[in-house]
Amino acid sequence: MAESSIISNTANLEKYLRLPQKGKFIAEYVWIDGSNGLRSKCKTLDKLPENVSELPEWNFDGSSTGQAPGNNSDVYLRPVAMYPDPFRLGDNILVMCETYMSDGKPNAYNFRHDAAIVLNAHKDQEFWFGLEQEYTLLDSQGWPYGWPKNGFPAPQGPYYCGVGTGKVFCRDIVEAHYKACMYANIEISGTNAEVMPAQWEYQVGPCPGMEMGDQLWMSRFLLHRVAEEFGAKVTFAPKPIPGDWNGAGLHTNVSTKETRAEGGMKAIEAAMEKLAARQKEHMEVYGEDNQLRMTGRHETSSFDKFSWGVANRGSSVRIPRAVAADGKGYFEDRRPASNGDPYQITGIMCETMCGKVEG
């Protein structure tokens, strides 16, 4: 089969991965490009940094990633978080970066910059976030993995948390990604097969403040990278297949010092009032094509109107039943689409609950 020869051969690679590095280290610098995708390039280090602040700034050609014009193409990479590299192993690292222009201003697609301003200003609130990342695996032709070539599988029902041939597809990728996240110190908290065949979910969190965005973006990088080895494509599109097929979200679980404290329901109710007043602003940063997903069907709510309820999966925000019973805890914003930017989502959540901060 001609196609399999272009798929990477990790068994062969194994012997080279074991070669000694003669005291040097490899750092894979990862950043977000101009179309909500990820890019990376790597660099040899003579010394292993103990802290991310010791890592050198770097740069790339922003005209090749849709992030800068050709006549001023240098975009700078500033390391913000580092993780053990599950692919190269040893002391090699993955480095999450922010992007900046030569005048020192953040790149147009650097949404972390603004999120950090508001989340750091309200650090005393001790925000925790937990994200449920849904996604779909596609074959090299772009059709959901395991689906009949020119048709559709049997209707949804047996696939959610399914087990067995014909009910789940690409479990190997999911398992490999889970272990890769753990190795990289990503706070992956679980995974499950989703309602549409070849659709999956994993959860990251709870993570404090800015760590949420960094970890989720790195977990997405790991997913693309693992799937690449298996010859599958990952799509974060919120409605990959039109019609009676499940969409994909990024449910955002939120708590603060106050919502977690005794009587925290009061703080949750106050947050609901504030969220209701800013429906439009939130939907603007909750992912592209989200209106295709938020049809009011398949456990989604209205795109235009805010609602909340205990244990209600058809409302914008769901208060888990156990939280209502305890009178404290967290809430789940079910509106964000699977392709939403976690920096923008956590940033606007903090802004709406605690107030704007001039940056």
Q: Which residues pair with 319 in a beta bridge?
A: 310
Q: Identity (one letter) of the amino acid at 2?
A: A
328 interacts with ligand ADP by CB under 6 A: no
170 binds, among Mn ion, ligand ADP, none (CB under 5 to 8 A by kind): none
Question: Applying CB under 6 A, which part among 89-97, 143-151, 249-257, 295-303 lies near ligand ADP?
Answer: 249-257
Among 25, 159, 303, 330, binds ligand ADP (CB under 6 A): 330
Q: Does 332 bind ligand ADP (CB under 6 A)?
A: yes
**d(C-alpha 11, C-alpha 30), whole Å:** 25
10: part of which helix (H) or strand (E)? helix 10-17
Q: Which stretch binds Mn ion (CB under 5 A): 39-47, 139-147, 196-204, 267-275?
A: 196-204
Using CB under 6 A, which of 128, 159, 169, 306 touches ligand ADP?
A: 128
Stretch 144-203 residues interacting with ligand ADP (CB under 6 A): 189-190, 203
* Nearest distance, CB of residue 313 and ligand ADP, angstroms: 8
Neighbours of 338 (CB within 10 A): 26
**Buried/exposed code over 134-152 (b: 16+ C-beta within 10 A; e: otherwise):** bbbbbbeeebbbbbeeeee
Per CB under 6 A, 206 contacts ligand ADP: yes
Q: Which residue stretches of 235-341 are H helix?
A: 257-260, 265-276, 279-284, 290-293, 321-326
Contacts to ligand ADP from residues 294-313, by CB under 6 A = none
Residue 132 sits in the site that holds ligand ADP (CB under 6 A): yes
Whichever of 225 and 251 has its CB closer to Mn ion, that residue is: 251
Interface residue with ligand ADP, options 255, 301, 339, 346 (CB under 6 A): 255
Provide the angle, in degrees to the nearest 10, between the axes of the packed helices 112-121 and 211-229: 140
205 lies in the site for ligand ADP, by CB under 6 A: yes
95: Cβ contacts below 8 Å, ≥ 6 apart? 27, 28, 29, 30, 52, 55, 79, 81, 82, 83
Which CB sits closer to ligand ADP, 232 or 254? 254
Query: Under the criterion CB under 5 A, does residue 333 sit at the interface with Mn ion?
Result: no
Type of residue found at 90: G
100 binds ligand ADP (CB under 6 A): no
Question: Do 99 and 76 touch, CB atoms closer than 8 A?
Answer: yes
Contact with Mn ion (CB under 5 A): which of 85, 132, 211, 351? Answer: 132
Round to whole Å and give the CA distance between 82 and 39.
16
338 binds, among ligand ADP, Mn ion, none (CB under 5 to 8 A by kind): none
- Could you say which of ligand ADP, Mn ion, none residue 122 binds, taking C-beta under 5 to 8 angstroms by partner kind? none
Name the token pair of 293: 């997903």
Q: How far apart are CA 338 and CA 288, in angstroms?
A: 9
Q: Integer distance in angstroms from the first to the last C-alpha of the chain?
A: 55
Beta strands 25-32 and 93-100, pairing class: parallel
Tokens of 32: 């977000």
Binder of ligand ADP out of 62, 86, 130, 247 (CB under 6 A): 130
What letter does residue 196 receive in the DSSP assignment? S
How far apart, in whole angstroms, are the C-alpha atoms of residue 194 and residue 94?
A: 29
Per-residue binder mask for Mn ion (CB under 5 A), 246-285, x = binder: -----x----------------------------------
28 binds Mn ion (CB under 5 A): no
The interface region with ligand ADP, picked from 2-10, 36-44, 136-144, 252-260 by CB under 6 A, is: 252-260
Binding interface with Mn ion (CB under 5 A): 132, 201, 251
Binding interface with ligand ADP (CB under 6 A): 128-130, 132, 189-190, 203, 205-206, 251, 253-255, 260, 329-330, 332
